[in-house]
Amino acid sequence: MKILVINGPNMQLLGRRKAEFYGTQTLPEIEAGLRVAADSLGVTIEFFQSNHEGAICDRIAAAMQDGTDGIVINPAAYTHTSVAIHDALEAASIPAVEVHMSNIQARDDFRRTSLTAPACIGQIAGLGADGYELALRALVRRLSAEPRP
């Protein structure tokens, strides 16, 4: 089973910005923890981060062809603005779980609406970096229960 983890804009700055919302772990540290979790689950994991909406859409489209079984995605700021990422997720028809380190419901009004979540099978928010591992485990469990083509 192959899982793709996508991170959107400014996620490369984790550990250096707004620790009160995002904690102190860096993106490479989060990825290292996910590699350990993926190994324990017996799945392959790949990481992609971009500050560019089109690049994220392109990577989701490529996932349709490269054997990706599931996606964990933190669209970051694009959560609230990107119909394009929503449409890419919907078109790909690859089960995805949306992750947010902060509780988007407890932040600015404009952050409370996710345009991308309706194209996902679930959303985890407010649990910091732990949300990524929870999303990975839930996604693998869901995929393992579904018949594969």
Known catalytic residue: 100? yes
Q: How far is CA 137 from CA 81, 89, 100, in A?
A: 27, 20, 16
- Residue-level pLDDT at 52: 98
Contact 120, 139 (CB under 8 A): no
Beta partners for residue 47, in sequence order:
5
Selected catalytic residue, list 22, 78, 86, 132: 22
Tokens of 110: 């404009």
pLDDT for res 149: 54
The CATH number covering residue 134 comes to 3.40.50.9100
The active-site residue, picked from 78, 86, 100, 132, is 100
Confidence of residue 106 (pLDDT cuts 50, 70, 90): low
Q: For residue 15, what are the domain limits?
A: 2-145
Active site residue 22: yes
Domain count, the chain: 1
Could you report the per-residue pLDDT of 25-80, keeping only the tens digit for each? 899 999 999 999 999 999 999 999 999 999 999 999 999 999 999 999 999 999 98
Do residues 72 and 136 touch, judged by C-beta distance below 8 A? yes
How is residue 136 written in tokens?
A: 């990975």
| Residue 97, token pair as written in the block | 């779980």
pLDDT at 148 over 70: no
